[in-house]
Homo-oligomer: A and B are copies of this chain.
Amino acid sequence: MSGKQKMRNRTYRLQTETRSQFINIDRFVEQAIGESAVRDGICLVFVPHTTAAVTINENADPDVLRDLCRACDRLIPSDLEFRHREGNSDAHFKAGLFGSSVTIPVENGRPVLGTWQSIYFCEFDGPRQRTLTIRVIKG
């Protein structure tokens, strides 16, 4: 791989399976950092969709992720008086609240995450074929 290629965005594909779902993407982030050959810097994980997001949360108890999904649905019910004809305005709103990117420090070629942290792709209007863009910046 040339030096120029090393600095480019990496794109990953994933298939979601239900309407609302949090999918662990740590392996994509570790792979992108490894291939970038950046030892120290930051890593941007970006979701190019408007009804999906990316977030960092607990990796130990899967009940936490189920609770997050349910709390989202309780907080933003899909039957709010939305006008958007596709009927998925709740998904657009959830995506806005969680956000389209996370940025993580990189040290010694590894993401610097807390003990209980993992990175999750947040599906709010699945099942769909989705993509993910990861860029690692040296510095």
Residue ranges of A at the interface with B (Cβ–Cβ < 8 Å)? 7-9, 40-42, 44, 46-50, 55-58, 61, 63-64, 66-68, 70-71, 74-76, 80-86, 89-90, 92-93, 95-105, 107, 112-117, 133, 135, 137-139
Contact = CB atoms under 8 A, between A and B. Distances in A.
- Count of chain copies: 3
A108 to B, nearest CB: 10
Given A98-B97, A114-B50, A105 B44 contact: yes
A112 B57 contact: no
A46 B42 CA distance: 11
Contact of A105 (B46, B85, B90, B115): B46
A48 B82 CA distance: 30
Contacts of A85: 61, 63
